[in-house]
Structure 1
Amino acid sequence: HKTGIEVMVDGAHSFAHLDFKIPDLGADYFATSLHKWLYAPIGSGMLYVKKEKIKTIYPLFAAADDPLKDDIRKFESLGTRPFFIEQAIGKAVEFYDMIGGERKFKRLHYLKNYWMEKVKALPGVRFNTSMDPKWGGAIGNIAFEGKKPGELDAFLMEKYKIHTTTVVWENISGVRITPNVYTTIKNLDVLVEGIKAYAAK
Structure 2
Amino acid sequence: MKSQFLLDPSITFLNHGSFGACPKLVFKAYQDFQLELEADPVLFIQKKLPVYLKQAKAPLAAFIGCEKEDFFFTPNPTFAINTIMRSLKLQAGDEILSTNHEYGAMDRTWNFYCKNTGVKYIRQPITLPIISKQQILEEFWKGYTPKTKVVFINQISSATALIFPVKEICDHAKELGLITIIDGAHVPGHIDLNITQLNPDFYTGTLHKWMLAPKGSSFLYVKKEFQNSIDPLIVSWGYESVMPSDSQFLDYHEYQGTNDHSAYLCTPQVIQFLDENKWTLISKACKTIVQDNYQRFCNLLNTQPICPITDEFLGQMASIPVKTTQALALKELLYNTYKIQIPVMPLNDAVYIRYSINAYNTQEDLDVLYNALQDIIKTTDLISV
Q: Is the 8 A contact 2:324 2:351 kept in 1?
A: no
- Judging changes above 3 Å, is the alpha-carbon distance between structure 1 residues 98 and 28 closer, same or farther for their aligned structure 2 residues? farther
Q: What SS does the aligned partner of 2:334 have?
A: helix
Which has more helix, going by share of residues? 2
The structure 2 residue matched to 1:13, chosen from 178, 186, 191, is 186
Q: What's the counterpart of residue 338 of structure 2?
A: 160
Instruction: Flag the structure with more relative contact order, 1 or 2, with Cα contacts below 8 A and sequence separation at least 6.
Output: 2
Number of residue pairs the alignment of both structures matches: 200
Confirm or deny that 1:55 pairs with 2:236: no
Q: Is the 8 A contact 1:7 1:29 kept in 2?
A: yes
TM-score (norm 2): 0.47
Measured on the aligned residues, the alpha-carbon RMSD in Å equals 2.6
The structure 1 residue matched to 2:208, chosen from 35, 49, 71, is 35
The C-alpha deviation readout for 1:64-108, integer Å capped at 9, x for no partner, is 2699x6555222012211132222222112222334564344133
Q: 2:232 is aligned with what amino acid?
A: P
Q: What SS does the aligned partner of 1:57 have?
A: coil
Mean Cα deviation higher: 111-120 or 178-187: 111-120
Structure number with larger C-alpha Rg: 2
- Judging changes above 3 Å, is the alpha-carbon distance between structure 1 residues 84 and 123 closer, same or farther for their aligned structure 2 residues? closer
Q: What's the counterpart of residue 292 of structure 2?
A: 114
- Judging changes above 3 Å, is the alpha-carbon distance between structure 1 residues 165 and 186 closer, same or farther for their aligned structure 2 residues? same
The C-alpha deviation readout for 1:158-199, integer Å capped at 9, x for no partner, is 332001112112244222222222112222221222222233
The structure 1 residue matched to 2:366, chosen from 173, 188, 193, is 188
Structure 2 distance, partners of 1:50, 1:151, is 44
The structure 2 residue matched to 1:84, chosen from 262, 266, 273, is 262
Confirm or deny that 1:25 pairs with 2:198: yes
Q: What SS does the aligned partner of 1:7 have?
A: strand
Confirm or deny that 1:73 pairs with 2:250: yes
Matches within 5 A, 1:166-185: 166-185=344-363
Confirm or deny that 1:94 pairs with 2:267: no
Q: Percent identity?
A: 25
Structure 1 distance, partners of 2:291, 2:249, is 40
Q: Is the 8 A contact 1:19 1:102 kept in 2?
A: no
Structure 2 distance, partners of 1:138, 1:199, is 26
Unpaired runs of 5+ in structure 1? none
Unpaired runs of 5+ in structure 2? 1-173, 380-385
